[in-house]
Amino acid sequence: MRRLAWLLALGALAAACAVPLDPPPSGAPAGDEPPRSGGVLRLGDAEDPRYLDPARGYDVVSWSFEQMLFNTLVEYDQGTNIVPGLAETWTTSPDGRHLSFRLRHDVVFSTGRPFTAADVKFSLERLLKPSIHSQGAEFFHGLEGATDYIAGAAKEVRGIRVPAPDRVEFDLIGIDPLFLHKLAMPFAAVVDREAVERFGDDDFNAHPVGTGAFVLQEWVYGQRLRLARNPRYFRAGRPYLDAVEATIGVSPQLAWLKYQRGELDVATIPPAEYHRVLADPRYRPLLISRTTLRTNYLGLNCEVAPFDRVAVRQAMNLAINKQRLLELADGQGAIANSILPPDMPGAGPVAGYPHDPEAARLKLGEAGLADGFETTLWAYRDPEALRPAQSIQEDLHLIGVTVNLKPVDFPALIEAVRHPGTVSLFLLGWEADFPDPSNFLTVLLHSRSRDTNNNTFYANPEVDHLLDEAEPLLVDDPRRFRLFHEAEVLVMRDAPWVPLLHPAGSAVRHPRVRDLELHPLRPSRVEGVWLAW
């Protein structure tokens, strides 16, 4: 009996040691061969994609699948330049308010029905329909007749015209230098009207039909999602892959183990393994890094006490130890002292706030809250997201602010922050949809965005004015970026946010995966990916 106990104890001790890092799957990571057709790309996800309907999806996972199923009029190349998609050529009128697109003739939906300009009109009008509750609708409010259509005063959007089956034309209320970028967003993807009419707006999500490189072959909720090659895809020879298969219910840890065993083709690196993997030469050729145009921030609801006072918000900015947040993120990224990520075109230096808990206390005293106060921080309940939340909780505790953490699921979080008066303090991030400051400043901090993404309900007429002035200016007009910068400085002074980090992401690929490029603005386009074996 006693010997057994000793054995067990020794075994337990030996067991409680770290497991060595396993090697990645074997195989040559790169080569000279030309792209080869065939194979199934195997992915893993913890949850089902929230949406496959382009009018609804606004998160990375939904977009990655939507891009496989649908196309937009224009697209991005490897970088941030606009290139043709479903449209071959386009012209803009001298006053910038009218755009005319000539569409490709060789595009058909996956059902075989030919694609025409009427489908473009249908898709955009569907996007604007109030019953769809699309977050992308706001990008197209600049179309003439859009507001009437939304209000129900008109049966169509008169600013979208279809003079011929291969021509679609847009009339805008005012100059919109970003209109092409907006057309490149998955919101503007072309959907098949017949499928929408057959399944209805709600169920189109489970039966999506588009012009994309893949079609939905199977979706078993909670288990797997399979997209097969669309033989009718208009880009000859693409996609290389036979299919993309996503196994659902695969946690990041499981995905990592499966990846190491060669069962998954792409995986994110679990934070626990970060240091070891980045230092391991066996993994180096398989690393894919991604610098994103993203800012993670602590949002302060400017309409809820005590965050309705500037001094309090500034105190919050001074109290947070961002260096430690960066350490908790394993050094992946950079500290954020401004709204815009440094790689954003038009981003300029902003003073920001130092880490100074003493000064933070003084500020609280200024606001009459020297004894501190209590509040609730809403955060995504993923253990990785809760770590920075706890660090922040501790930072604020040191200046006398008691923070209760409320972990919620991501969809619940982004819905709750829209409700005025519901959430005082929240942890979120924003990733640029297109490479322009307005995508941060106007979308997140203009007072008219309070119903959509201005979740801090920040409203400063001076800032609004600067943003409105800058918006119609052409991108190469020096005033544009100058005005945005002025607005950003004002915002930082008012401190509705505590900008935290500009994170970078890393992933690893199976050696057989080739040409998987990470795009700064969008999930990777899978149609160019091929498997070497």
Which positions lie near another protein, rule CB under 8 A?
1, 12, 15-19, 46, 202, 221-224, 247-254, 257-258, 270-276, 324, 327-328, 330, 381, 383-384, 386-387, 389-391, 393-394, 397, 404-405, 407-409, 411-412, 415-416, 418-419, 422
Q: How far is the C-alpha of 111 from the C-alpha of 209, rounded, in Å?
A: 8
Least distance in angstroms from the C-beta of 178 to another protein: 27
**Residue with smaller CB distance to another protein, 250 or 441:** 250
Task: Round to whole Å and give the CA distance between 235 and 232.
Answer: 9
Residue 232 neighbours by CB distance under 10 Å: 15
Angstrom distance (rounded) from CA 494 to CA 492: 5
Helix pair 357-366, 310-319: axis angle to 10 deg: 170
Q: How many residues does the chain have?
A: 533
Given the complex with another protein, which of 232 and 258 has the nearer CB atom? 258
For residues 48 and 144, which CB has a smaller minimum distance to another protein in the complex?
48
CB of 243 to another protein, least distance (A): 17
> Largest Cα–Cα distance of the chain, in whole Å?
92
Whole-number minimum distance, CB 413 to another protein, in Å?
Answer: 9
Q: Please choose, from the candidates 371, 351, 360, 368, the residue with its C-alpha nearest in 3D space to the C-alpha of residue 308.
A: 368
CB of 422 to another protein, least distance (A): 6
Let me know: does 514 contact 35? Beta carbons within 8 Å: yes
* Nearest to another protein of 274, 373 (CB atom): 274
In the complex, what is the shortest distance from the CB of residue 289 to another protein, in angstroms, rounded to a whole number?
20
Q: How far is the CB of 299 from another protein (least distance, A)?
A: 16
Could you tell me which of 330, 374, 335, 348 has the C-alpha nearest to residue 505? 330
Q: Tell me whether residue 46 or residue 359 sits nearer to another protein (CB atom).
A: 46
* Eight-class DSSP state of 78: S
Q: Are 262 and 25 in contact (CB under 8 A)?
A: yes
CB of 507 to another protein, least distance (A): 17
Residue indicated by tokens 């900015």: 317
DSSP-assigned letters across all residues of 121-132: HHHHHHHH-GGG
Please, which residue, 10 or 412, has the CB nearer to another protein?
412
CB of 80 to another protein, least distance (A): 32
Residue 102 parent element (H or E): strand 98-103
Smallest gap from Cβ 417 to another protein, in A, equals 9
Identify the residue whose tokens are 């900008």.
Answer: 499
Q: How many CB atoms lie within 10 A of CB 189?
A: 31
Please identify, using beta-carbon distances, which residue of 45 and 431 lies nearer to another protein: 45
Whole-angstrom Cα distance, residue 56 to residue 66? 10
The long-range contacts involving 137-143, CB below 8 angstroms and separated by at least 24 positions, are 137/187, 138/443, 138/449, 138/452, 139/182, 139/185, 139/187, 140/182, 140/187, 140/188, 142/172, 142/173, 142/174, 142/176, 142/179, 143/170, 143/171, 143/172, 143/173
Nearer to another protein, 30 or 220 (CB): 220
CA 432 to chain CA centroid, Å, is: 7
Supply 262's token pair: 């060669």
For residues 531 and 533, give the distance between their C-alpha atoms in angstroms, rounded to a whole number.
Answer: 5
Q: Which is nearer to another protein, 40 or 386 (CB)?
A: 386
CB of 128 to another protein, least distance (A): 16
CB of 532 to another protein, least distance (A): 26
The nearest distance, CB 325 to another protein, in angstroms, is 9
Q: How far is CA 254 from the centre of its chain?
A: 24
Question: In angstroms, rounded to a whole number, what is the distance separating the alpha carbons of residues 482 and 471?
Answer: 12
Q: Which is nearer to another protein, 48 or 75 (CB)?
A: 48
Cβ distance to another protein smaller for residue 13 or 236:
13
Q: Pick the closer one to another protein by CB: 407 or 429.
A: 407
